[in-house]
Amino acid sequence: MINRDMDIREKSIVLIGFMGVGKTTVGQLLAQKLNRSLVDIDQVIENDFGMPTTEIFNKYGESTFRKYEKETVISYCKQKWKIISVGGGAFLNEEVRKACLSNCLVVYLDIPWEEWKKRLHMLIDSRPVLQGRTLDEIRKLFDERQKIYATHHLKVTIDAKSAAEVADDIVDCLQSAWKIHP
């Protein structure tokens, strides 16, 4: 359901999906295509703490990260005209989900497990949530996380597409939504 209190084109676009699906990479391309600025929430948090996410988890704990993540997303999603890529776990929080869904257009980047598995080697060192887990445990997390992404406005399936192709698909999807809800 799209909240039509403001012009739909003004709304910021929030990218959600499992870690490594490409929210940051695709977000950069989408921002260029739509001439908007990108707010990468993980990047904002890392800049504010002056350290990588893994270090924030190790030094302050996941709950400190999650609290800061919640406040950061809620604050940015009130702004218009942005592309906001949120961390893969941000939608665990109900207030975050509600704030994004009511203020922004939420686009879910959906990736099949077999495709995602190919990226694991690129993610394991930088994503604390994956560290120390077996492949079976990661698969379980992947399946569990699908529930939190179930509420969104638009969905784009990733498959074996390049990041540029995914960005093009999102633009097509947005253009249809902008036409249907002028």
Ligand X SMILES: O=C(O)C1=C[C@@H](O)[C@@H](O)[C@H](O)C1
Give the annotated binding-site residues for Mg(2+): 24
User: Which of these, 102, 109, 64, lies nearest to 86 by C-alpha position?
Assistant: 109
CB of 142 to ligand X, least distance (A): 10
Backbone dihedral region of 50: left (phi > 0), alpha (psi from -120 to 50 degrees) or beta?
Answer: left
By C-beta, is 139 or 161 nearer to ligand ATP?
161
Q: Which of 8, 14, 16, 19 is close enough to bind ligand X by CB under 6 A?
A: 19
Cβ pair 11, 82 in contact under 8 A: no
Residue 64 C-beta-side C-alpha neighbours within 13 Å: 13
Q: How far is the CB of 21 from ligand ATP (least distance, A)?
A: 4
Interaction residues for ligand ATP, span 63-122 (CB under 6 A): 85, 87-88, 119, 122
Nearer to ligand ATP (CB atom), residue 122 or residue 150:
122
Binding residues among 151-170 for Mg ion as defined by CB under 5 A? none
Q: Which does 119 bind (CB under 5 to 8 A by kind): ligand ATP, ligand X, Mg ion, none?
A: ligand ATP
Beta bridge partners of 56: none
Taking CB under 6 A as the binding criterion, the range among 16-24, 56-64, 69-77, 149-157 that sits at the site for ligand ATP is: 16-24
Q: Which residue is nearest to ligand ATP (CB)?
A: 22
Write the DSSP symbol of residue 39. Answer: E
99 alpha carbon, distance to own chain's centre: 14
Binds Mg ion (CB under 5 A): choice among 3, 24, 28, 126: 24
CA atoms within 13 A on the CB side of 103: 20
